[in-house]
Structure 1
Amino acid sequence: MLRSALLYTALLFGANAAFAGAVDWQAAKDAGLVKLVPAEEPAPVSDVEFTDPEGGTHTLADYKGKVVLLNFWATWCAPCREEMPYLDALQSEMGGEDFEVVAVATGRNAPDRIDKFYEETGLQNLPVLLDPRQQLARAMGVVGLPVTVLIDREGREVARLLGEADWSSEPAKAVIRQLVAD
């Protein structure tokens, strides 16, 4: 218990990592984000287009200059159902000029099912974004759901997490704060 409290405190204050411009990935893992894997070398993300329900097109380049938490999910994915409210809460608390949660429904997700999913899970802060033919997911190397990719301000993948996580937790928010401060 004491060890966890110390780790949370270190993450909360960033162990001064936020001010040094580096993310303390090990502290994040030790504090609960055990499946978070930092990239060996930050790599540019895909420029494949995705859409919204109105037919608008988007690319990840639209978010350049912001830290992005890119999440791939689907209406039929049980772990996604658990994780999406955490993403919604993170966007509500931290989303803005410097940071954004970009949740993309990949694969076959009928519009009425997405609406029902949002209603049942209480999502209010995440726009509906679509990758119906899984082109972005394939370009990003997504092989299962959910998958979350952390992208720096320059549009490079800096870490990835396979499976669900509590993105509204203090360790997750500390990672985001460190990335934003970088």
Structure 2
Amino acid sequence: MKRNIFIFVPIAILFCVIGVYFGVQRHAPASPESLAVANLLTQDMPDASGKTSSLAQWKGKPLLVNFWATWCAPCVEEMPELNALQTEVAAKNIQIVGIGIDSADNIAKFAGKYKISYPLYVAGTGATALLRQFGNQSGGLPFTVLVGSDGQVKKMYLGSIKFNELRKDLASL
């Protein structure tokens, strides 16, 4: 009988510890970045053509969210390469999404002129609040966020993208 107690008590303690661990993991607070992703995906925004769309359509999909503006020279410089990158990563089910901090008219003209193939949304000046939620307190542009299909921020890039680094990060998704 005593021998059985020495076997069952440690096993019971082990299962209690495992239960507590998973209970704490389940109720751990979400990171500010994951809350920012969740908030972003609740937004409805007009696209470059003026049609309002829900960003919830991208939930569960790996995303590269690029905050930009037509008046931001580094933003404009990286757009053609982002456009080419969208073609590369489409087969891997990765979506690039542009969030424009500009007027609808400027974004529409830009999209037409440069033939951008990925979705460009018009957030206007309201996008600065989104930037801050992601931790970009200065509101610097370009600002790009890599989001996994789990809705977690994998990496953030402030300033011009280094595309070799970005391709490595995308490959790790």
- The alignment's TM-score, normalised by the length of structure 1, stands at 0.63
CA shift at 1:153, angstroms? 0.9
Q: Deviations over 1:19-72 (max 9, x none)?
A: xxxxxxxxxxxxxxxxxxxxxx7941241414024342423x432322111110
Match of 1:116 among 100, 109, 120: 109
The residue type equivalent to 2:161 in the other structure is A
CA shift at 1:172, angstroms? 2.4
- Asked if structure 2 preserves the Cα contact closer than 8 Å seen for 1:43 and 1:158, the reply is no
For residue 114 of structure 1, give the secondary structure of its aligned residue in structure 2: helix
Query: Is the alpha carbon distance of 1:136 and 1:43 closer, same or farther for their aligned partners in structure 2, counting shifts above 3 Å?
Result: closer
For residue 172 of structure 2, give the secondary structure of its aligned residue in structure 1: helix
Unaligned ranges ≥5, structure 2: 1-30
Flag the structure with higher helix content.
Answer: 2
Query: Is the alpha carbon distance of 1:65 and 1:173 closer, same or farther for their aligned partners in structure 2, counting shifts above 3 Å?
Result: same
Structure 1 runs, 4 residues or longer, greater than 4 Å off: none
Match of 1:47 among 36, 39, 46: 39
Query: Is the alpha carbon distance of 1:99 and 1:42 closer, same or farther for their aligned partners in structure 2, counting shifts above 3 Å?
Result: farther
* 1:15 corresponds to: none
* Separation (CA, whole Å) in 1 of partners of 2:143 and 2:53: 21
Match of 1:173 among 152, 162, 167: 167
Flag the structure with higher strand content.
Answer: 1
For residue 154 of structure 2, give the secondary structure of its aligned residue in structure 1: strand
Name the Cα RMSD after superposition: 2.4
* Separation (CA, whole Å) in 1 of partners of 2:32 and 2:131: 18
For residue 39 of structure 2, give the secondary structure of its aligned residue in structure 1: coil
Pairwise mapping of residues 60-75 of structure 1 onto structure 2 (< 5 A)? 61-75=56-70
For residue 140 of structure 2, give the secondary structure of its aligned residue in structure 1: coil
* 2:13 corresponds to: none
User: Higher relative contact order by CA 8 Å / sep ≥ 6: 1 or 2?
Assistant: 1
For residue 47 of structure 1, give the secondary structure of its aligned residue in structure 2: helix
For residue 72 of structure 1, give the secondary structure of its aligned residue in structure 2: strand
Q: Of the two, which has the highest radius of gyration?
A: 2
The residue type equivalent to 1:118 in the other structure is A
